[in-house]
Chains A and B, each alone.
Chain A
Amino acid sequence: MASLPQLFEEDIRVLDMALEDLLSRSEATVTLLIDKGGFLISKRGSADQIDATTLAALAAGSYAATETIASLVGETNFSSIYQQGDKFSLLVQNVDEYCLLSVVFKASISVGMVKFYATDTTQQIAEQLKSAQDRDPNAGLDLSVMDVADTSLVFRKKPA
Chain B
Amino acid sequence: MAIINQATKELQVKIVYYGPAMGGKTTNLIQVHEHVQTAQGNKGKLVSLATSSDRTLFFDFLPIEAMAIKGFKTKFQLYTVPGQVIYNTTRQLVLRGVDGIVFVADSQYEKMSENVRSIANLEENLGALNMNLADIPYVLQYNKRDLPNIAPVDYLEFTLNNRDVQVPSFTSVASKCEGVFESLNMITRLLLHKFINQGTRAKK
Contact = CB atoms under 8 A, between A and B. Distances in A.
Interface of A: 1-4, 6-9, 11-13, 35-41, 51, 53-54, 57-58, 61, 64-65, 68, 138-148, 150-158
B200 A144 contact: yes
Given A2-B96, A143-B72, A156-B67, A57 B6 contact: no
A86 B72 CA distance: 40
Contacts of A155: 32, 36-37, 64, 66-67, 181, 184-185, 188
Interface residues of B, number: 62
Contacts of A1: 1, 96-97, 129-131
B68 interface: yes
Is chain B's binding surface mostly helix, strand, loop or mixed? mixed
A61 B3 contact: no
B199 A37 contact: no
Most buried by A among B90, B129, B185, B200: B185
Contact of A53 (B49, B63, B90): B63
Contacts, number: 174
B7 A139 contact: no
Interface in B179-193: 181, 184-186, 188-189, 192-193
Contacts of B184: 155
B114 to A, nearest CB: 25
A141 B71 CA distance: 14
